[in-house]
Amino acid sequence: MTTPKREAAVSGRGRRSLDPHLSRYAQRTAGMTASEIRALFAVASRPEVVSLAGGMPHLAALPLDTLATEVQELIATEGLTALQYGSAQGAPALREQICEVMAIEGIRAHADDIVVTVGSQMALDIVTRIFCDPGDIVLAEAPSYVGALGTFTAYQASVVHVEMDDDGLVPSALREALAALASQGRRAKFLYTIPNFHNPAGVTLAVRRRAEILQICATHGVLVVEDNPYGLLGFDGQIYPALRSMESDNVVYLGSFSKTFAPGLRVGWALAPHAVREKLVLAAESATLCPPAFTQAVVSRYLAANDWKGQIKVYREAYRERRDATLAAMEQYLPDGCRWTHPDGGFYVWLTVPEGLDAKAMLPRAVTARVAYVPGTAFYADSFGSRQLRLSFCYPTPERIREGVRRLATVLAGELDLLRTFGSVHERRLPGPQSPSPDTA
């Protein structure tokens, strides 16, 4: 039998690469590949699966009838403005209202220093765009928000993770990280931090540490980017002082209506010192021309005409109930060797599974068992997090949450059985983090 022919009889005939642009892509697209882990989240959308993966707010708590009336009135009375292009910086009236929202957390700001964006994700994008050249360093908590890591990767910035504990970012770890960089002749452009009810870790930066963190960054000439989508969602109504309330010149604050109102509106903002704000406006303009006038108007009407603080209270109670169900179920069902955070606000619990298990490797088995979560490696830029996973309790009902945790426990039991059979999986980590899709961020 002859060996297979290696050279094409006619040069190029029948050859298909399926992507004629392969040689033209920018280097930053290197990680943009199909991922079996990402694909598994398509199953999470089925009702049979208890998805503890997505950070989707509990929108059933919204007064939709009232909102429908307000939107109808908006179009009837302000349609020509609401449906038209608007200011690149965002509607002035909304920016004033945003100042009132931020005042709850102690922030004193002028509306002129706010840039309204298409979600705070865009705010982070343009902040990174104006500060980071390829190879620049960004400091982020360990772990950090997957959407932020994706942004930093897109701009080819390098992420250095800094340790957290149950009280959030550890100041001494931050000092050490900065000192280590300095010893290499390098400097971080900014510290990206989620101080309140952290995504994914669920912890909150202790108030006593906040001034110290700011001082450390100021000393080292490192900007602080404070991302605070969950700050008003403390279950006991507790409000922690924003970093921006303690320091204005060296903090860029990112805010959002996604969790306090609704994510589908895509309205967020950046509050920045004047010079930074000017550049952000230009960057935002080049990305979107202007933020959506229509949804800004919806938000503005909502804030003016509704008890939005009362709505936040409704959300808080719903999330508290879900948090309680999650923690109780974890206590009841999870095997020895598991440990987890105990959030007092926000959406997430960060679970560490027993030594030797790999949360990413076990995800297919979890999907078979009809439960989904986000593996911890998604929240690190450096392949750490294999023993961790994020559970989101914001969306399912408490009953579904309990069932989901029960299913997860059976998966863990199966993994422990495999561990006993085959030994530790530390060496089994797949190379490189693979990000889940945006709707699980």
Partner 1 sequence: MNERTVAVLAGGLSHERDVSIRSGRRLAAALRETGLIVEEWDADSALVARLAARRPDAVVIALHGGAGENGAVQSVLEMLGVPFVGTDAGACRRAWDKPIAKARLVEAGLATPDWVALPQSIFRELGAQSVLDALVARLGLPLMLKPDQGGSALGAHVVRSEVELPTAMVGCLAYSDTVLAERFVDGVEVAVTVIDAAEGPQALPAVEIAPESGVYDYAARYTAGFTTFHCPARLEPAMAKSVADLAVRAHTVLGLRDVSRTDAIVPSDGRPAQFLEVNVSPGLTETSLLPMAVEEYGSTMGAVFRDLIERAIARS
**Binding residues for partner 1 (CB under 8 A):** 1-9, 14-19, 21-22, 33-36, 38-40, 42-43, 46-49, 361-365, 367-368, 370, 417-418, 420-423, 425, 427-428
State which residue, 209 or 428, has the beta carbon closest to partner 1.
Answer: 428
Compute the radius of gyration of the chain from its Cα atoms: 23
Output the smallest distance, CB 357 to partner 1, in A.
10
Q: Distance between CA atoms of 375 and 148, rounded to whole angstroms?
A: 16
Output the smallest distance, CB 147 to partner 1, in A.
20
Q: Distance between CA atoms of 300 and 314, rounded to whole angstroms?
A: 20
State which residue, 8 or 104, has the beta carbon closest to partner 1.
Answer: 8
165: left (phi over 0), alpha (psi -120 to 50) or beta: beta
Angle at which helices 171-183 and 207-220 cross, to 10°? 10
State which residue, 232 or 372, has the beta carbon closest to partner 1.
Answer: 372
Output the smallest distance, CB 28 to partner 1, in A.
16
Would you give the distance in Å from CA 267 to the centre of its chain? 15
Output the smallest distance, CB 433 to partner 1, in A.
14
Q: Is 219 helix (H, G, I), strand (E, B) or coil?
A: helix
Output the smallest distance, CB 107 to partner 1, in A.
42
State which residue, 14 or 185, has the beta carbon closest to partner 1.
Answer: 14
State which residue, 50 or 126, has the beta carbon closest to partner 1.
Answer: 50
Closest CA to 296 of 113, 439, 54, 114: 114
Output the smallest distance, CB 13 to partner 1, in A.
9
Long-range CB contact pairs, 70-73, < 8 A, 24+: 70/298, 70/301, 70/302, 70/305, 70/306, 71/298, 73/301
Amino acid symbol at 438: P
Q: Which residues pair with 339 in a beta bridge?
A: 352
Q: Distance between CA atoms of 149 and 159, rounded to whole angstroms?
A: 8
Query: Which positions ≥6 away from 309 have C-beta within 8 Å?
Result: none
Output the smallest distance, CB 155 to partner 1, in A.
22
Output the smallest distance, CB 359 to partner 1, in A.
12
Q: Is 116 helix (H, G, I), strand (E, B) or coil?
A: strand
Amino acid symbol at 46: R
Output the smallest distance, CB 335 to partner 1, in A.
17
Output the smallest distance, CB 50 to partner 1, in A.
13
Sequence length of the chain is 441
Q: Which residues pair with 271 in a beta bridge?
A: 114, 253
State which residue, 272 or 371, has the beta carbon closest to partner 1.
Answer: 371
Asked if 273 and 113 touch (Cβ cutoff 8 Å), the reply is yes
Place of tokens 């209506």: 257
Q: Distance between CA atoms of 26 and 15, rounded to whole angstroms?
A: 24
Q: By CB neighbour count within 10 A (0-12 exposed, 13-18 middle, 19+ buried), where does 296 fall?
A: buried
State which residue, 34 or 275, has the beta carbon closest to partner 1.
Answer: 34
State which residue, 47 or 135, has the beta carbon closest to partner 1.
Answer: 47
Give exposure, 317-337, as e/b (b: 16+ Cβ within 10 Å): ebbbbbbebbbebbeebbeee
State which residue, 27 or 421, has the beta carbon closest to partner 1.
Answer: 421
What token pair was written down for 392?
A: 């989101």
Output the smallest distance, CB 410 to partner 1, in A.
14
State which residue, 141 or 358, has the beta carbon closest to partner 1.
Answer: 358
H/E run at residue 271: strand 268-271
State which residue, 32 or 104, has the beta carbon closest to partner 1.
Answer: 32
